[in-house]
Structure 1
Amino acid sequence: MNAPHADVAGLRLLVVGASSGIGHAVATGAGRHGARVAVAARRIDLLTELAESVSGLAFELDVADPAAITAVVTATAEALGGLDAVVFTSTVIPFAFVEDTDVATWIHAFTVNTVGASNVLRAALPHLSENGVVLIASDHNVGRPRAGVAAYSASKAALDEILRSWRGEHPELSVIRVGIGPTEDTEILRGADRDLLAQLFQSWVQDGQLPARMSALDDVADTLLTLIAAAYANPTVVPEFVQLAPRFKKSAPRPAQDA
């Protein structure tokens, strides 16, 4: 985050889903590099600590509640004097085989992952500055669903179509959808059934869906901030659909041994 194009200093930034994982890392990095940061999520105890560390604001928010989204986004914009960037990283990943996924699980996944993201964008729309940016975290594997996460995969695929509609109806908006690949130190497995996970991991390995190495959390967060800074600084260009995948370098060849 030292390059000029990655400069987020002074930007007014709201991170939704900041209590852990990628959202937490984005908020931390933004604050470290001089952005004015507000964070929102359900776990207000974790958010309060985060907000204090970045001299920012914390709001309790359940993105399944449209009225609460509007209230939090409006309060954030009023406190910061507007919004230059909004980052949405909230997600739920119900682990269940498709035949075991009940109606309530399907509805909750779409309510948070799909409709929740769209509602945050809608609430932010009147408060965005002229060069304002909205970045929505999605999944690198949309279109290639893994076993055991049907509701999550379908909700992320639907999110892609909703974001295409937003761009089609509002071509003036800078909406960046980022498909994020496997990343270390997130909490996506929090609360999952361990026996089921063992089955799923075996399936993912057999299908070649687990990388040998994941992306580092801070690298992913800094990349997202770089995308925001670049889009804000270059308002005639929108990096609409971006994919992030783990990169692992080959080991250096061993030096030849003397005979």
Structure 2
Amino acid sequence: MSGEQAGLRLLVVGASSGIGHAVATSAASQGAKVAVAARRMDLLNELATAIGGFAFELDVADSASIGPVVDAAAEALGGLDAVVFTSTVIPFAHIEDTDVVTWVHAFSVNTVGANNVLRAALPHLSEDGVVLVASNNDVGRPRAGVAAYGASKAALDEILLAWRNEHPELSIVRVGIGPTQDTEILRGADRELLSQLMKSWVEHGQLPEQMSQLQDVANTLVSLVMAAVANPSVVPEVVQLAPRIRRGVKRP
């Protein structure tokens, strides 16, 4: 990290595991001052101790709690140069079995939650501050069994466009992330249903031969943030990350 990047004040939302956890670790290793927020405080406290950062309990589905947590994180860091939002929920269900509660929860986390974190961070962002929002690179190409997730991410795209329209001074980076190993997205999913869905994805050519490595994805996100902060006249508005397929390597 260059001298002007050292000490970057970063808040990572959704950092208890997976991509958010890896982003926080990667950024801290490069000299950033990091605050992390998520629901699972046992994992979050371990992470904060390991990286010398600050941990805050946050359920982004609880809109009222977002402002106070972002305020506290900004105070602990002395301001915010960047926010990375990775919180996500992926309910696995056929669309006819997706009930109202599932639809609402998916949108409350993936869509409204991201919007509210951005809204809360706005007063704290430095002049060249950056907000990176993790999304999915399959938006517009729906897979069976994840309708609520896909629709919530499509709505998120529209919200980010509205932010850019009303706040062109902001650097908002939307990153569509492809299949990535070790992200815990299958945690708690029905295994029989997953088996059916994976068969469908293979039949429709939607299951890649290989997945991206978690640390590679995290390092790329951190690089995007740092590049955007260091080059404030340019916004990498939409970035798509896809697995690089290496021939001769078997499907996981």
Give your verdict on TM over 0.5. Answer: yes
Question: 1:69: Cα distance to partner?
Answer: 0.6
Q: Which residue identity is paired with 2:190?
A: D
Q: Aligned ranges for residues 235-246 of structure 1 at < 5 Å?
A: 235-246=232-243
Whole-Å Cα distance in 2 between the matches of residues 90 and 114 of structure 1?
A: 10
Deviations 1:101-150 (A, max 9, x none): 00000000000000000000000000000000000000000000100000
CA contact (8 A) 1:85 1:228 kept: yes
Number of positions where the alignment pairs a residue of Structure 1 with one of Structure 2 = 249
Whole-Å Cα distance in 1 between the matches of residues 79 and 148 of structure 2?
A: 35
Q: Partner residue of 1:174?
A: 171
The percentage of aligned residue pairs carrying the same residue is 74
Q: Partner residue of 1:22?
A: 19
Whole-Å Cα distance in 2 between the matches of residues 83 and 178 of structure 1?
A: 20
- Deviating beyond 6 angstroms after TM superposition, the runs of 4 or more aligned structure 1 residues are none
Q: Partner residue of 1:125?
A: 122
CA contact (8 A) 1:176 1:242 kept: yes
CA contact (8 A) 1:8 1:225 kept: no
Pair 1:48 & 2:45 matched: yes
Whole-Å Cα distance in 1 between the matches of residues 129 and 238 of structure 2?
A: 17
Pair 1:152 & 2:167 matched: no
Q: Partner residue of 1:183?
A: 180
Return the match for 1:111 from 97, 108, 115.
Answer: 108
Whole-Å Cα distance in 2 between the matches of residues 224 and 130 of structure 1?
A: 20
Deviations 1:191-230 (A, max 9, x none): 0000000000000000000110000000000000010000
CA contact (8 A) 2:176 2:241 kept: yes
Q: Which residue identity is paired with 1:27?
A: A
Q: Partner residue of 2:229?
A: 232
Whole-Å Cα distance in 2 between the matches of residues 197 and 249 of structure 1?
A: 25
Deviations 1:59-79 (A, max 9, x none): 000001122110110001111
Whole-Å Cα distance in 1 between the matches of residues 22 and 147 of structure 2?
A: 27
Extract unaligned runs of 5+ from structure 2: none
Pair 1:208 & 2:205 matched: yes
SS in 2 for 1:129: strand
Q: Which residue identity is paired with 1:167?
A: R
Q: Partner residue of 2:95?
A: 98
SS in 1 for 2:12: strand
Q: Partner residue of 2:63?
A: 66
Q: Aligned ranges for residues 80-91 of structure 1 at < 5 Å?
A: 80-91=77-88
Pair 1:35 & 2:35 matched: no
Deviations 1:79-115 (A, max 9, x none): 1110000000000000000000000000000000000
Pair 1:220 & 2:217 matched: yes
Pair 1:9 & 2:6 matched: yes
Relative to structure 1, is the Cα distance of residues 246 and 100 closer, same or farther in structure 2, using a 3 angstrom cutoff?
same
SS in 2 for 1:171: coil
Whole-Å Cα distance in 1 between the matches of residues 5 and 193 of structure 2?
A: 41
Extract unaligned runs of 5+ from structure 1: 253-259
Q: Partner residue of 2:159?
A: 162
Question: 1:251: Cα distance to partner?
Answer: 5.1
CA contact (8 A) 1:41 1:62 kept: yes
Deviations 1:3-56 (A, max 9, x none): x59x85210000000000000000010111110000000000000000000000
CA contact (8 A) 1:8 1:30 kept: no
SS in 1 for 2:228: helix
